[in-house]
Amino acid sequence: MGDPGSHSGSLAPPVSAERRSNAGPNRFPPIGSYGFLSDCHTSALVSYDGAVEWLCLPRFDSPSAFAALLDRGAGHFKLAPRGVVVPISRRYQPGSLVIETTWVTDTGWVVVHDALTIGDWVEQAGPGSRPKTEHEADHSLLRTMTCIDGEVELEMECLPRFAYGAEAAEWNGGELGEASARADGIGLRLTSDMELSLGGGAARGTVHLREDETAFCALTWGENATGGPRSAPEALERLDSTEDFWRKWLRDGNFPDHPWRIHLQRSALVLKGLTYAPSGAILAAPTTSLPETPGGERNWDYRFSWIRDSTFSLWALHTLGFDEEARDFMRFVVGVCRSDPQLQIMYGIGGEKELTESTLDHLEGYGGARPVRIGNGAFDQRQNDVWGALLDSIYLHEKALRGTGTPADRQLIRQQVEAAIAAWPHPDQGIWESRGEPRHYVSSKLMIWVAVDRGARLAASIGFDDVAEEWARTAGEIREEILERGVRDGVFRQHYDTDALDASTLLIPLLRFLPPDDPRVRATVEAIADDLTEHGLVLRYKVEETDDGLHGEEGTFLICSFWLVSALSEIGEAARARALCERLLAAAGWLDLYAEELEAQSGRHLGNFPQAFTHLALINAVSHVIADERREDGGVTAVFSEMGGVREEA
């Protein structure tokens, strides 16, 4: 398919068809149907039926207390009206990560709000000042219920299964709406104004609400937790303070006045929600082992921070006006690099280096997809693109903040540029972390060029002219090698020894390796649009042409499809870029969130959820389309300057 914008088929089936295919008490909800909660320490996924099915304590990467997401018997926290399975509506409270669910029964209507609550801010610079990044979470999952018409009876079941479903909870108490449970070194405290009963490893409660009455239940953990609310008014106050935090944070951003602003804002909230506040690290995703292929083996733990994501993260944060979050993330990235110059492709969210992979064979896996993995065996792979991601991040960060680097930063730059040059002759596993034989991947050589090119620019900007000239010459040699060995028939290929295509080469114009009007850039973009798509959506590569060490098919990669939007914009195909972007925005999950992949034929989301890299690519793609619309001269896109963020050099 040459023109993604001209495809006549619909991208996804009607939502009702997806819901029918996952009906039944023992089936797994669609991945795209989950809601995402965060307090920037941990996160929860909430199903449409009112069940919290994923919560790890006390950190994003800790063992789970609820894991029904990966095994229907691995723990949940359900709250819903008696006898009702599907609500009438769900949404995020505008500008927040608080979920509002409206239920209707035969006797009345009730609205439920779910949040991982965040405490009140102490304004240190007077009214209206920006909330600090190092906020104080309540370490509490709060659920409030308000009857808005008639009367409704609600049921609650809190059934933790600690250590990824391996350990049942032992509850104590239950009187006066309080109960506690402990296992696997984690203590939980449940507070509620419901009538509680304990048994079978669960705490259960019921409440009958009439119009304008409110009830609550809250689960808290951790030694430093403030404890759950003791009354419905206190619960509503905590809910209000949480919404207020998110809205104040979002208000500090820089968003265009455009109909797609809501998508940029939701993606920004996801990125903030995926930030681990104590370190500034941004997770790739809050989940593990949601399958890339239904029932398949391509299941990975993404609860770590990838250096590769840093370029897009820094660009997105600076472009949208969140310089403080960009500083926090850059501080994390530079910190782990300084502690050990041997750069890894990923780190734990606390800076951990050993991310040993193992399997949880007692879990059935989402939809039967096994194995379920924790840890990630790719942490010690050779991936030569990592230096380019780091140096491009430093380069963007320096430009955005107008040169605030330190001598220690400059030493880090020298070390990493020299490491990139040393890696240049060697094959690696590539951007997609192939578990097959190392190859001379074009994307890896491209990112080595980025590392040396950005290093030369940084050196020149601080007066190190001799070093800058040396590195610029080396960057030129790398560029010539890529153009000689990585191009066949005018099209960039996956690696030096194949004719196969790879979606990562869509980054060539975005990273300014070649100008967008270069014939090889246009030919590559068109070849990928023609030959590396399913129903107009982009595969990262064809599995039958690539030795990735795995079996089975995989869905189209959403980041690659958003990259195609940006690349089409770059080569002047503004109408096609907008058409593809519209289709991708229409394919969002039920609450405007995205997984890693999309099954092109059905529209099902696949892979870990929500996925930071997808939302980062969305921000870049939407920014390109908006810039195209606002351009009067019909020239090529220069999004960095037009979005008011990083200013691109001439």
pLDDT at site 2: 38
Does residue 274 lie within any of the structural domains?
yes
pLDDT at site 25: 43
Per-residue pLDDT tens digits for 120-148: 755 554 444 444 444 689 999 999 999 99
Residue 110 reports pLDDT greater than 80? yes
Contacts of 54 (CB under 8 A, 6+ apart): 34, 43, 44, 45, 64, 66, 67, 68, 69, 70, 286, 287
Residues β-bridged to residue 215: 145
Tell me which amino acid residue 246 is. W
Per-residue pLDDT tens digits for 310-329: 778 888 998 899 989 988 99
**Count of beta carbons in the 10 Å neighbourhood of residue 251:** 12
Residue 596 reports pLDDT greater than 60? yes
- 480 with 419, same domain: the answer is yes
Q: Could you tell me what percent of the chain has a pLDDT over 90?
A: 69
CATH of residue 601's domain is: 1.50.10.10
- 217 with 289, same domain: the answer is no
- 203 with 316, same domain: the answer is no
Does residue 30 lie within any of the structural domains?
no
Contacts of 479 (CB under 8 A, 6+ apart): 449, 513
Does residue 107 lie within any of the structural domains?
yes
Q: Taking the alpha carbons of 124, 128, 129, 131 in that order, is the dihedral positive or negative?
A: positive
pLDDT at site 412: 83
Per-residue pLDDT tens digits for 522-554: 999 999 999 999 999 999 988 777 665 555 567
- 234 with 362, same domain: the answer is no
- 241 with 365, same domain: the answer is no
Separation of alpha carbons 596 and 429, rounded Å: 20
Q: Which of 221, 251, 281 is the last residue of a domain?
A: 251
Phi, psi for residue 480 in degrees, rounded to 5: -65, -40
Please report which confidence band the pLDDT of residue 650 belongs to, taking 50, 70 and 90 as the band edges. Answer: very low
- 226 with 277, same domain: the answer is no
Counting Cα atoms < 13 Å in the Cβ hemisphere of 92 gives 27
Q: Which of 192, 226, 251 is the last residue of a domain?
A: 251
pLDDT at site 119: 85
Q: What's the pTM value of the predicted model, to 2 decimals?
A: 0.91
Beta carbons of 116 and 42 less than 8 angstroms apart? yes
pLDDT at site 613: 93
Does residue 588 lie within any of the structural domains?
yes
Per-residue pLDDT tens digits for 209-255: 999 999 999 999 987 656 789 999 999 999 999 999 999 999 999 99
- 292 with 399, same domain: the answer is yes
Q: Which of 215, 74, 45 lies closest to 141, judged by CA?
A: 45
Does residue 13 lie within any of the structural domains?
no
- 87 with 141, same domain: the answer is yes
pLDDT at site 546: 63
Please report which confidence band the pLDDT of residue 394 belongs to, taking 50, 70 and 90 as the band edges. Answer: confident
Tell me which amino acid residue 454 is. R
If you average pLDDT over residues 56-75, what whole number do you get? 97
Residue 103 reports pLDDT greater than 80? yes
Beta carbons of 561 and 537 less than 8 angstroms apart? yes
Q: Show the domain range for 430.
A: 261-642
- 168 with 278, same domain: the answer is no
- 364 with 482, same domain: the answer is yes
* Bond from prior residue into 259 cis (ω within 30 degrees of 0): no
Helix, strand, coil in percent for the chain, rounding step 5: 35, 20, 40
Does residue 335 lie within any of the structural domains?
yes
Contacts of 164 (CB under 8 A, 6+ apart): 63, 64, 67, 70, 74, 360, 362, 363, 372, 374
Residue 308 reports pLDDT greater than 70? yes
Q: Could you tell me what percent of the chain has a pLDDT over 70?
A: 87
pLDDT at site 26: 60
Please report which confidence band the pLDDT of residue 358 belongs to, taking 50, 70 and 90 as the band edges. Answer: very high
Mean pLDDT lowest among 1-5, 205-209, 295-299, 492-496 = 1-5
pLDDT at site 10: 32
Domain count, the chain: 2
Does residue 130 lie within any of the structural domains?
yes
pLDDT at site 24: 41
| Dihedral, CA of residue 161, residue 164, residue 165 and residue 166, to nearest 10 | -100
Q: Which of 251, 281, 299 is the last residue of a domain?
A: 251
pLDDT at site 55: 98
Does residue 282 lie within any of the structural domains?
yes
- 349 with 385, same domain: the answer is yes
pLDDT at site 15: 33
- 201 with 108, same domain: the answer is yes
**What are the strands, taking DSSP E only, across 162-201?**
167-168, 170-173, 178-183, 186-192, 195-199
**Count of beta carbons in the 10 Å neighbourhood of residue 482:** 21
